[in-house]
Chains A and B, each alone.
Chain A
Amino acid sequence: MNIIQILFWFLSVIALFSALMMITSKNPVHSVLWLILTFFAISGHYILLNAQFLAIVNIIVYAGAIMVLFLFVIMLMNLNSETEPQKNRWLKMAGAVSGGCLLLVLVAALKDSELLKQQAQVNEGYIGLIKNLGKNYSALM
């Protein structure tokens, strides 16, 4: 297992875990913070895929600007875990089950696909690099 794979798994676990925490935490502010962590993990994936520009934009726009907007709104309304409305337990269960079913169906549908045998270029390739900004592609071709 090389460093890239270690990084991949590490980032994936962070992303999934913080996403789960985001939807389970009672306090909206905590949710926002977990979501920001998720976005950071996703940005890490972008860097791993050599998409530096998108990684930076993701952090600046999403984790920075958008989530700050969310935080502002939450603070504006003074929401906290006590005022958080709770759904009916059965409805929650139904939601979780149907979401799980969707995952199951999609995974089952894709698991035999020919597509899955293809490789993705990791940590190489020049597209999406910051240094390409300002390059004249027509001259390149």
Chain B
Amino acid sequence: MQNAFQIVYLIPLFPLIGFLLNGLLRKHLPRPAISLIGCTSILASFLMSVWVFIGVKNGNTHVAEYFDFIRVGKLVIPFAFQIDALSSLFLLIITGVGFLIHVYSTSYMHGEKPEHFARYFSFLNLFVFSMLLLVMGANYVIMFIGWEGVGLCSYLLIGYWFKNQEYNKAANKAFIMNRIGDLAFLIAIFWLIAKGGSANYSDLESFVTKLSGTDITVITMLLFIGATCKSAQIPLYTWLPDAMAGPTPVSALIHAATMVTAGIYMIARSNILYSLSPLTMNVVAYVGLATALLAATIALKQNDIKKVLAYSTVSQLGFMFLALGCGAYTAAVFHVMTHAFFKALLFLGSGSVIHAMGGVQDIRQMGGLSGKLKVTFITFLIGCIAIAGIPPFSGFFSKDAILLSAFEKNPVMYGVALFTALLTAFYMFRLLFVTFTGSFRGTEEQKHHLHESPAAMTIPLVILAVLSVIGGLVGIPEVLMQGGDKLASFLSPVIAAHESPNPVSHSTELGLMGLSTALVLGMIVFAWVKFKNYKSKEETGFGKVLENKWYVDELYEKIIVQPLQQAATFLKNVIEKNIIDGLVNGVGKATQYGSRQLRLLQSGQVGSYVLLMIVSMVVIFAFQFFLRK
């Protein structure tokens, strides 16, 4: 298996080549060629990833150093790829789910002009390339390159329909908010290098002795701020729902395979540092929990099919951060994996619905689609069950692991998390029932237009549905099956085993599982009763607050954007116009005035020249004899 590691650089290279081919030849390639290039490049790197994964599973790890990226004094930052359990798992998720999304896109984006079609695929490939770079890098600097690349690609893809001003604004919002986190991440890297002298993951162990407790806390906090931004946590989450401006497969890619998992990956990667800073761990856990709850409440009342899914992503990411904060890194990574499956499924399913509806995203205009869109409905249902957490679907195992870790940390946390999980089940099934059951509420024309999506779209749905069902079986808790938690043992070389401060007994664990399952089932029934014959009505009171997302965007607008804009206006109108322009114009005017006066000296009369010469001589003599001493 050693040779798989020799050519590990091919994994990111394939998407890069795909990006270059599609990007440079976008005006010359026909549509099938573009699809072929886009999908094959990802498929190739998926196959490579599988090969590498098998190698890692056999117990091998590898750090491939190619050249020195930065060499300044004693600081050496190599351009190196690290292949171990964590990165190989992420490679599989990224390329696997990424490939399915690519295949789906070939059909979904079929209406675009070939040129834009190629642009779309080149961006997708670049996105995957950046994400691969992010997870494969053997130090924080290489990760940062991918980190920035992901931010850029999200900007490009959210603003893919760049003729729409609103979409451009959403793209700008995503990019600018990401910059805030990037700054924190960058400072963390600098801090790490300044104090530890290295940014390599392999040196993290040695930092434990080099760095003081404060250093570790500050670094982990800064890294966490970076992660809150990429992974859409409070207070920097508002860009993610707006990122729905992009095409639906892009949303799927951002939410499932790439981008938002970057923050989780980064913290899981730095688990050694985080384990040393209980303060940061608590902050991570509470921020994650708060985000999960807030986003879930917002999702309850959203009417845009993609917005519901977007807030559910934010909420699920909150769960992952909760797990990270509780020290259950394995659970977080597990949830990343299962979430990638069912969230990609749900997004692609919603894309299929939107496709059938001719671009309509408002669920109030849908209803009763289950008859026409059978495959979509069934797969969507599977996705909903998975995210709600009903055994033996994948979401159950990962969510249960998170809930358990929260319970071990603090039962109150567990309560809130469980409540959020119930909300998750509720809003997901609300979405399902409102969209697929009841009677159709759209126009006749739309009703006539309804059709099941082509195979290129349904096959990825089916594959993802299968994965959503069985994906959780790699992490069956010990209490249900001896040696069932294969994922934890797989990740154990990279992530220290989660040692619970106050482990719960098996019976308690089983009881908790049963409790959550029963409550979730109850919630689904409640949603069924409430929404099987949905009629849209105006929201009032608290519901309106939720529908308007707690007015967080408006709050940000008021307390951050507007003061900044006012300051900028002040600077522009007062400082710039009067002081800076005045200074510049004043210099010009002074020069003009001075030269107009000085011009008179040049009378052309020899006498005056001689007079000036003598005067200057007097001055020079005086200076030389009297002042120079």
A/B pair count, beta carbons within 8 Å = 29
CB pair B611 A91 closer than 8 Å: yes
CB distance from B628 to the nearest CB of A (A): 11
Residue of A nearest to B612 (CB): A98
Given contacts A108-B625, A109-B625, contact A102 B607 (CB under 8 A): no
Residues of A within 8 A of B611 (CB): 91, 94-95, 98
A106 within 8 A of partner (CB): yes
CB pair A105 B607 closer than 8 Å: no
Residues of B within 8 A of A87 (CB): 607
Size of the B side of the interface (Cβ < 8 Å), in residues, is: 11
- Most chain A Cβ neighbours within 10 Å, of B607, B618, B622: B618
Give Cα A52–Cα B611 distance, bound, in whole angstroms: 37
Chain A window 97-119, contacts with chain B (Cβ cutoff 8 Å), 1 for yes, 0 for no: 01101100110110000000000
CB pair B621 A99 closer than 8 Å: no
For window 582-629 of B, CB contacts with A under 8 Å fall at: 607-608, 611, 614-615, 617-618, 621-622, 625-626
Given contacts A91-B611, A94-B611, contact A102 B626 (CB under 8 A): no
For window 49-81 of A, CB contacts with B under 8 Å fall at: none
CB distance from B600 to the nearest CB of A (A): 14
CB distance from A114 to the nearest CB of B (A): 14
CB pair B621 A106 closer than 8 Å: yes
CB pair A105 B625 closer than 8 Å: yes
CB pair A101 B618 closer than 8 Å: yes
Residues of B within 8 A of A109 (CB): 621, 625-626
CB pair A102 B618 closer than 8 Å: yes
Residues of A within 8 A of B614 (CB): 95, 98-99, 102
Interface secondary structure of B, over-half rule = helix
Q: Which of A94, A95, A102, A108 contacts B617 (CB 8 A)?
A: A102
Given contacts A98-B618, A101-B618, A105-B618, contact A91 B625 (CB under 8 A): no
Give Cα A108–Cα B607 distance, bound, in whole angstroms: 26
Give Cα A99–Cα B615 distance, bound, in whole angstroms: 8
CB distance from B620 to the nearest CB of A (A): 10
Residue of A nearest to B613 (CB): A98
Residues of A within 8 A of B626 (CB): 108-109
CB distance from B318 to the nearest CB of A (A): 86
Residue of B nearest to A103 (CB): B618
CB distance from B549 to the nearest CB of A (A): 82
Residues of A within 8 A of B615 (CB): 98, 101
Residue of A nearest to B624 (CB): A109
CB distance from B367 to the nearest CB of A (A): 101
Give Cα A101–Cα B607 distance, bound, in whole angstroms: 17
Residues of A within 8 A of B621 (CB): 102, 105-106, 109
Residues of A within 8 A of B622 (CB): 105
CB distance from A54 to the nearest CB of B (A): 28
CB distance from A95 to the nearest CB of B (A): 6
Give Cα A87–Cα B611 distance, bound, in whole angstroms: 13
Residue of B nearest to A101 (CB): B618
CB distance from A117 to the nearest CB of B (A): 18
Give Cα A102–Cα B622 distance, bound, in whole angstroms: 9
Give Cα A115–Cα B167 distance, bound, in whole angstroms: 89
Give Cα A87–Cα B608 distance, bound, in whole angstroms: 11
Residue of A nearest to B616 (CB): A98
Give Cα A109–Cα B622 distance, bound, in whole angstroms: 8
Residues of B within 8 A of A99 (CB): 614
Give Cα A95–Cα B610 distance, bound, in whole angstroms: 9
Give Cα A13–Cα B608 distance, bound, in whole angstroms: 31
Give Cα A31–Cα B614 distance, bound, in whole angstroms: 23
Give Cα A108–Cα B618 distance, bound, in whole angstroms: 12
Give Cα A91–Cα B617 distance, bound, in whole angstroms: 18
Give Cα A91–Cα B621 distance, bound, in whole angstroms: 22
Give Cα A99–Cα B611 distance, bound, in whole angstroms: 9
3 closest Cβ contacts across the A-B interface?
A109-B625, A105-B621, A101-B618
Question: What 11 new A-B contacts, CB under 8 Å, besides A109-B621, A109-B626?
Answer: A87-B607, A91-B607, A94-B611, A95-B614, A98-B611, A98-B614, A105-B618, A105-B621, A105-B622, A105-B625, A108-B625
Which residues of B are at the interface with A, using a C-beta cutoff of 8 A? 607-608, 611, 614-615, 617-618, 621-622, 625-626
Subset of 10 A-B contacts with CB under 8 Å:
A87-B607, A95-B611, A98-B611, A98-B615, A99-B614, A101-B618, A102-B617, A105-B621, A108-B625, A109-B621
